[in-house]
Amino acid sequence: MTTVEIFVGIFDGFRITATVTALGLLFAVPFALIFGVAQYLTKGAAHLAVTAVIEFWRSSAVIILLFVFYYVLPVIGIQLPAITVAAMVLGLNAGGYGSQAVRAGLQSLDRGQFEAAAALGLPRGHILALIELPQALTRMAPTFINQFIQLIKGTALVSLVTLTDMTFRAKEIAELEYNPVGVYTSLLLAYFVVCYPVTVFGRWVEQRSGGRKGLTNEF
């Protein structure tokens, strides 16, 4: 097999890598927003409960979560397809990190933003949605792009629960070809080809939203 053939063979797994990433985002984005905002707004017992959920997903090893949910759920009678389990585990782990970016973004805003909005008679929900979140999310955009890339790379783990993603394909080819150096170098390259455009996209988003309004500069 030539290097090109190996590379094309690895990209057979791209569909699974992309699907797990996309489904993962469906878990990650809502989790990050809801739990990040909840951690910002709640106090006392509710705050502890929210923090506990976030910490469970954020502080557990993804590979162990993956095995636990893949092998333990069927034992207690819950049958989920491997791709759902993988997307959920990877997504909620990324969402745990994302929630901290959301919370930090909200906390980093000047208190005066809330006060000015409140002084105009805006209800709390409007202040959050129209004043605080737009600024916090713009500020946190680089962090979100980082976490998105982490999620893509994290999908390499799904090869351990029978999903034929790029990494799984590489292992298959490596066994047939006895050329681990060529195969795994191609795999590295494959992930770079997928992730780098996201980095470029992130830079574009950052410049577009931040530059003109001077959001990065405090006045």
Element (H, E) at 120: none
Q: Which residues of 179-208 are buried (b: 16+ CB within 10 A; e: fewer)?
A: eeebbbebbeebbeebeeebeeebeeeeee
- The token pair at 61 is 């090893």
> Rule CB under 8 A: is residue 215 a binding residue for other proteins?
yes
Residue from 44, 77, 81, 214 that binds other proteins (CB under 8 A)?
A: 214
In angstroms, what is the minimal distance from the CB of 64 to other proteins? 41
> Rule CB under 8 A: is residue 43 a binding residue for other proteins?
no
> Rule CB under 8 A: is residue 213 a binding residue for other proteins?
yes
> Rule CB under 8 A: is residue 208 a binding residue for other proteins?
no
CA dihedral 127, 131, 135, 136 (to 10 degrees): 0
Cβ proximity to other proteins: between 117 and 152 the closer is 117
Residue 95 φ/ψ, nearest 5 degrees: -60, -35
Choose one: 72-80, 84-92, 105-113, 167-175; the region binding other proteins (CB under 8 A): 105-113
Under the rule (CB under 8 A), what is the footprint of other proteins?
Answer: 110, 112-113, 115-124, 126, 130-131, 134-135, 138, 212-215, 217, 219
